[in-house]
Chain A
Amino acid sequence: MIYKDLIIIGGGPSGLCAAKTALEAGISVLIIDRNPKVGGQLIKQTHKFFGSKDQYAKTRGYDIASKLYRDIENFANLEILTDTTVVGLYKDNVVTVVNQDRYVRYQAGSFIVATGASEKFLAFENNDLPGIYGAGATQTLMNVYGVLPGNEVVMVGSGNIGLIVSYQLMQAGVKVKAILEAAPTIGGYKVHASKITRLGVPILTSTTVKKAIGETEIKAVEIISLDQKWQEIPNSNRVLPIDALCISVGLTPMHQLLSMVGAKMKFVSELGGFVPIINSQHQTSIKSIFVCGDVVGIEEASSAMMEGYLTGLFVAHYLNHSHKDHEVLVEHYESQLSLLRNGPFGIKTKVGLTKLKEGSNHA
């Protein structure tokens, strides 16, 4: 069995940042990622980030991914396994992975689970027809592979992902017929919403999908208006011909490996679903397993990166190999994180984290 000081599961923004501070502290790190490249969902993000310089503001997502990789690529005690899926995480500090056709076991002194999140789904008639995609999936298809999801699209959900992906669909030459929002108000930042409405795309609030229409692939979508109690208003149905429908109704943490290994979990709706209970060091109820990024609560990539840097420091400290600037850096990244959470969308995260801490009793 191969031994490492630290195995990071997931090479997205949070995992890469955790690797950086852990490597600087001098421990050996293995990053495992199931995708062909590390960088997580940053590699498809063509928009510029908000925030301050420390949080990579004004830089496009895919450029941040390259930078995070460059920050670590020259460390001798780093190994990265891409195209590799972790299929098991066990209490005796073992992970099992599938790489091509090989099934391999690794042992480590500690783990960081940075598996991120997956897109939530929506229940409606014919929701399994080809041509219905997660909004993030269409972003990958367009911005990573240069392939269009369709010619005419309706977006379901007006959170930031729904708004940003709608804009990027337009940049790629796709007609966005409408953005639907079941709530009475638009979910995402006003600056994104205004940009889209200026381009003539209607954002239909209090409106949702009734059903998808088509035999072998989607040909149209039937939409319906909702009243103040979220009930369908009779005879308000309309049919819009389209060849692609994007679902952007939020994200949920990919907690499965943590649930499998028996880490204590809690359902916190503000954080997106089941999340591990952690202490202030991002340590789960299993002492050798740490977490950072969206797996411990849905936020933006900026916060995931700051959490990553912090968690790398905490793990090094746990392994009695503290970073030479441990205290200074912990203070720095914690203040960055609290700055990010002071924005209008941070309130939900703060409420969620308070609820999560109420469940914490092992720290």
Chain B
Amino acid sequence: MRIERHPILDFPKKQEVFFMFEGTKVSGFQGDTVASALHALGIKTLSYSIKKKRPRGFYCAIGNCASCHMIINGIPNVRTCITPLESNMVVERQINKGVVK
């Protein structure tokens, strides 16, 4: 859900950025972070807790809480709330502590 009208801020349409989420091609906009783009698509579950596999979402937006850790281009534990979205990124939900390949 994107803000359409706002009394103070303008959100001019920016260039669309295409990326892969869990094997599906989706899009956000230039200036998004990975987490904001996913949130705008209604995707609220970004990772799962390590032991009980409970869903985890966007929480702190400052790269502090670890709730939004995802696997990007094969690299785990990426803080998606402060990671700018780029074209052709491959984004996956993380279900474990992260595996170094």
A residues apposed to B, CB below 8 Å: 34-36, 41, 46, 60, 83, 85, 101, 118-119, 128-134, 136-137, 140-151, 171-173, 216-217, 254
Contacts and interface: CB of A to CB of B under 8 A. Distances in A.
Given A147-B2, A217-B55, A130 B44 contact: yes
Given A130-B56, A136-B61, A171-B8, 6 more contacts: A35-B62, A36-B33, A85-B63, A128-B56, A128-B67, A137-B60
B57 interface: yes
A363 B20 CA distance: 56
Q: What is the interface residue range for chain B against chain A?
A: 35 or more
Given A131-B57, A217-B55, A148 B1 contact: yes
A157 to B, nearest CB: 15
Interface in B33-59: 33, 36, 39-40, 44-46, 49, 54-59
Contact of B58 (A60, A119, A137): A137
Nearest to A139: B61
B54 to A, nearest CB: 6
Contacts of A217: 44-45, 55, 57
Given A148-B3, A171-B6, A140 B44 contact: no
A193 to B, nearest CB: 20
A290 B42 CA distance: 43
A134 B3 contact: no
Contact of B57 (A85, A130, A140, A148): A130
B82 A34 contact: yes
Interface residues of B, dominant DSSP? loop
A142 B3 contact: yes
Contacts of A143: 9
B45 A35 contact: no
Contacts of A216: 44-45, 55
B9 A145 contact: no
A35 B49 CA distance: 24
Contacts of A142: 3
Interface of B: 1-9, 11, 31-33, 36, 39-40, 44-46, 49, 54-65, 67, 75, 81-82, 84
B3 A130 contact: no
Contacts, number: 102
30 contacts: A35-B62, A41-B62, A83-B82, A118-B65, A119-B60, A128-B49, A128-B54, A128-B56, A131-B57, A133-B57, A133-B58, A134-B59, A136-B60, A137-B60, A137-B81, A141-B36, A142-B3, A145-B33, A145-B36, A145-B40, A146-B3, A146-B6, A147-B2, A147-B39, A149-B39, A150-B1, A171-B7, A173-B4, A173-B5, A254-B64
A1 to B, nearest CB: 25
Nearest to A35: B82
Most buried by B among A60, A147, A150: A147
Contacts of B46: 130
B5 to A, nearest CB: 7
Most buried by B among A36, A60, A128, A151: A128
Contacts of B64: 118, 254
Nearest to B4: A173
Contact of A147 (B40, B45, B62, B84): B40
